[in-house]
Structure 1
Amino acid sequence: MKQLYRTVAASLGVLMTTFLVSAQAKETIVKFKVEGQTIVATMVTPDDVAKSPVVLMLHGFTGSRNEWSSDAVKEGLFGRAAPVLAKNGIASLRIDFRGSGESDGKFEDMTVETETTDAQAALDFLSTNDSVDGKRISLMGMSLGGAVTTAVAGRTKTPLKSVVLWNPGINLPAAFISIFGEKQMAEAVKAGDNVYPAKRLGDGKDIPLKGRFFESLYAVQPAGEISRYKGPLFLAVGTRDNIVFPQPALAKSLLSYHDGPEELWTESVDHGFGVERSAETVDKLISATVAFLKSNGQ
């Protein structure tokens, strides 16, 4: 049995510059506290809709709140999705987890559980924010943020209208073995509160993390987490993903643990939905996500 969810009070710290993203949307940088540290987030709201439904977006490993960006998608996956959501009457809040982006904290202190805590604090923030409808909140996560999303969906007491997963981590130890290799994973999980000097396979990039992070990959089981969530679920995967694989077999396995309305969306693309090559599949994914949210109470 996983530990019960610990609710963290979230209070608005700073409202910074607000400006129009498009004719249909405005963007605001907001800040709130989690365990004394500041989380920075971007809220995009429809310009002509009062108390709109809202989607909380959770980014992936080593990412930040705009998500994966490239020459083809300079604004990032989440940055591109937010104005489209707003055009369809749906607000969004995308956060930098502590230790990532502009938020406080050190990346080396991050675990799956700290990100789960951050996400719950963001839900608490949205539940009491006057600019959105706190009773119509959906949750969306990409990659490791997708695994965090399953944990939040399964544990939170905040009612959720729906859940969206984009190439989520499903078997976390296996996914991170593909990133770091078996030898590093075996060594890192023994490091405890010490920093393990992990190097990413392929490019050799240094990604130092404490052993507690690697332990948390084994402690959080997305299938078990999502089994406690009974609401609508949208699962999007790339069948050529070389980090979370094999697909769609893993996706179907995850869905077998979910008891509720669900939709599986697949394309023959990689972990980033082809973001490095073009925006074509990304835009198809965003459109499918919007259609799902609108058909499930958003």
Structure 2
Amino acid sequence: MQKAVSIIHKGLELRGMEHMPEGEKLPAVILFHGFTGTKLEPHRLFLKISRELEAKGIASFRFDFLGSGESDGNFEDMTVSGELEEAESIFNYVKSHPQVDEDKIIILGLSMGGLIASLLAGKLSTEIEKLILMAPAGTIGNSIEPMINSVPFIASHDAYDHGGNLVGKAFLEDVKNLEVWSQSAKYKGKVLLIHGTKDEAVPFEVSNLYIENSYKAQASLLPIEGGDHTFNAYYWEKAVIDAILEFAIK
């Protein structure tokens, strides 16, 4: 069953959806969306993943980060560090849920949500059963400044206009200080990486960097041949969902 849920984080409301099969002590997956994304993601990808997980007896939770989707806050106040704190609040909510087995929680992230998931798994370590990273933006610190320099600066908000989403200067400073590989490497569980080979937003090579610098033999990588950043084709989407289900169940 799908229903709207919300939690309070630092006085602001994070709004989300839970998908709950019948039963007690259920395994659960938490889905973290990407930069400028929402709890739906393109072509309703996160909703489709959640529905398929529910059909297999696995609960799932997908929230909008603050400043995104239907949650409180403004996008220009968003930082990776801030979203990491929000992700931990979401995790604690799920862990305390009366129908969830706290020892069987998987976290999944797409793009910058994948970066958040990798950092959270490193922080929480053994509290995370498995980790799924979809086109994780582990090198965002290298790519965000050139992107921002190509868009207008809105002086009244001290922010950059990225397609109608205002990106604050605090975001730029925050990503420069991220220790992605060393933090991610603290997680020692099983990792599944999924990445389109023709991804123009986050190069396919970034998933290989995660394996080389953080995960080594504990990770497997599924290339989606010809796939773009958010797997915008039926067969790409199907391959992604099938892989997630297989990894979550086994």
Common fold: TM-score over 0.5: yes
Q: Is the 8 A contact 1:164 1:235 kept in 2?
A: yes
How far apart are residue 127 of structure 1 and its match? 1.2
Match of 1:132 in 2: 100
- The yes-or-no answer on 1:292 pairing with 2:247 is yes
Match of 1:27 in 2: 2
Question: Given the superposition, is the C-alpha separation of residues 95 and 63 from structure 1 closer, same or farther in structure 2, using an over 3 Å criterion?
Answer: same
1:1-298 superposed matches below 5 A: 26-47=1-22, 49-69=23-43, 76-156=44-124, 159-177=127-145, 180=147, 182=149, 195-199=158-162, 205-245=163-203, 247=204, 249-256=205-212, 257-259=214-216, 261-267=218-224, 268-273=226-231, 275=232, 278-295=233-250
Q: What amino acid does structure 1 have at the position aligned with 2:197?
A: T
Deviations for 1:48-86, whole angstroms, at most 9, x for unmatched residues?
Answer: x322100110000111111122xxxxxx11011101111
How far apart are residue 221 of structure 1 and its match? 3.5
How far apart are residue 132 of structure 1 and its match? 1.5
- Distance (whole Å) between structure 2 residues aligned to residue 137 and residue 29 of structure 1: 20
Q: What amino acid does structure 2 have at the position aligned with 1:269?
A: G
- Distance (whole Å) between structure 2 residues aligned to residue 56 and residue 174 of structure 1: 27
Question: Given the superposition, is the C-alpha separation of residues 158 and 108 from structure 1 closer, same or farther in structure 2, using an over 3 Å criterion?
Answer: farther
Q: Is the 8 A contact 1:58 1:145 kept in 2?
A: yes
TM-score (norm 1): 0.78
- Distance (whole Å) between structure 2 residues aligned to residue 175 and residue 52 of structure 1: 39
Match of 1:14 in 2: none
- Distance (whole Å) between structure 1 residues aligned to residue 201 and residue 66 of structure 2: 24
How far apart are residue 173 of structure 1 and its match? 2.6
How far apart are residue 158 of structure 1 and its match? 6.5
Q: Is the 8 A contact 1:170 1:222 kept in 2?
A: yes
How far apart are residue 236 of structure 1 and its match? 0.4
Q: What amino acid does structure 2 have at the position aligned with 1:206?
A: G
Secondary structure at the aligned position of 2:165 is classed as coil
How far apart are residue 177 of structure 1 and its match? 4.8
- Distance (whole Å) between structure 2 residues aligned to residue 183 and residue 103 of structure 1: 28
How far apart are residue 206 of structure 1 and its match? 2.8
Q: What amino acid does structure 1 have at the position aligned with 2:20?
A: T
- Distance (whole Å) between structure 2 residues aligned to residue 52 and residue 279 of structure 1: 29
Q: Which has the larger radius of gyration?
A: 1
How far apart are residue 183 of structure 1 and its match? 5.4
- Distance (whole Å) between structure 2 residues aligned to residue 287 and residue 97 of structure 1: 26
- Distance (whole Å) between structure 2 residues aligned to residue 183 and residue 88 of structure 1: 45
- Distance (whole Å) between structure 2 residues aligned to residue 158 and residue 242 of structure 1: 33
Question: Given the superposition, is the C-alpha separation of residues 184 and 221 from structure 1 closer, same or farther in structure 2, using an over 3 Å criterion?
Answer: farther
Count of residue pairs the alignment pairs up = 248
- Distance (whole Å) between structure 2 residues aligned to residue 104 and residue 173 of structure 1: 26
- Distance (whole Å) between structure 2 residues aligned to residue 43 and residue 95 of structure 1: 9
Q: Is the 8 A contact 2:194 2:223 kept in 1?
A: yes
Q: Is the 8 A contact 1:240 1:270 kept in 2?
A: yes
Q: Which runs of 5+ in 1 are unaligned?
A: 1-25, 70-75, 200-204
Secondary structure at the aligned position of 1:229 is classed as coil
Q: Is the 8 A contact 1:238 1:271 kept in 2?
A: yes
Deviations for 1:108-141, whole angstroms, at most 9, x for unmatched residues?
Answer: 1010011101100011101111022122111000
Q: What amino acid does structure 1 have at the position aligned with 2:242?
A: S
Percent identical: 27
Select the structure that is richer in helix. Answer: 2
Q: Is the 8 A contact 1:56 1:93 kept in 2?
A: yes
